């Protein structure tokens, strides 16, 4: 089942489901994404929530590569 997702990292809205990657920053979405665990790593993303937010603020995706143009 697909539903509207707003990426918790970059704010991009897209149609998807649990464990789909954001088409902009590559963050893998989890339905209960990081409530209260912003500095803890998980098995689906290479960086923590806070590290991902910092990368996006620098214009990079979660892999450290330049973000695509919107």
**Tens-place pLDDT, residues 15-67:** 988 789 999 999 998 765 555 567 877 778 999 999 999 999 999 999 999 99
Does the pLDDT at position 70 exceed 90? no
* pLDDT attached to residue 34: 55
Q: Do 6 and 25 touch, CB atoms closer than 8 A?
A: no
Answer for the pair 52, 58: CB distance below 8 angstroms, yes or no.
Answer: no
Listed by start position, the domains of the chain span: 1-70
| The pairing of beta strand 13-16 with beta strand 3-6 | antiparallel
pTM of the model: 0.83
Cα 29–39–61 angle (5° rounding)? 50
Give the span between the Cα atoms of 19 and 66, in whole angstroms: 22
Tell me how far apart the alpha carbons of residues 40 and 50 are, in angstroms, rounded to a whole number. 9
């Amino acid at each position: 089942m697909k539903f509207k997702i707003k990426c918790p990292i970059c704010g991009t809205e897209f149609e998807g489901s649990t464990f789909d990657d954001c088409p902009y920053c590559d963050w893998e979405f989890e339905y209960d994404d990081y409530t209260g665990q912003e500095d803890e790593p998980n098995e689906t993303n290479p960086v923590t929530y806070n590290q991902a937010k910092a990368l996006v603020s620098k214009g990079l995706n979660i892999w450290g590569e330049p973000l695509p143009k919107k």
